[in-house]
Amino acid sequence: MEKFFEMEYRGLNILDEISVVELAINLELQTIHVLDQHQVVEPEYDFSTKKFRESEGFINMTKVLYDKYFLRKNMDEDLGNWVKRMKWIFYGSKQWIFQMENGNVKEVIKKTEIDHQGVNDHDFYRKYIERIL
């Protein structure tokens, strides 16, 4: 059984309102699941590169998480390397579920294409899948 611990992060959404982002963290798999239904830390589209990238809200959140002792105890790496080493999966307001690895954001699957049988084919956090469907 995979071991997750959950926490919340509060940040400003695109309307400058304080909103909650839920996190489910699995340190063994080095994966952080991010449920963001209010566009606080979701990847944003960069029209010049025609790709999704980290948002300013995401960068702010990672700075807060990086300072948490339990997330990086016994590590001597800087913030940028820590963020790149972790796998980030975003469940949010957009049509897609996104994944970020090694600093690259990609679309994984459309929400409308998810069925409960196929959830096990991905590294999704079932609780968040049920919340966004």
The pLDDT value given to residue 14: 87
Rounded distance, CA 16 to CA 69, Å? 29
pLDDT given at position 120: 62
Rounded Cα distance, 129 and 121, in Å: 13
Going residue by residue through the chain (133 aa), what tens digit of pLDDT does each one get? 578 999 999 999 989 999 999 999 998 999 999 999 999 999 999 999 999 999 999 999 999 999 886 776 667 788 899 999 999 999 998 889 999 999 999 999 888 888 755 566 678 998 999 898 8
Give me the numbers of helices (H) and strands (E) for the chain, helices first please: 4, 8
| pTM, two decimal places | 0.91
Query: Cβ(62)–Cβ(83) under 8 Å?
Result: yes
| pLDDT, tens digit (0-9, with 9 covering 90-100), for 87-125 | 999 999 888 999 999 999 999 988 888 875 556 667 899
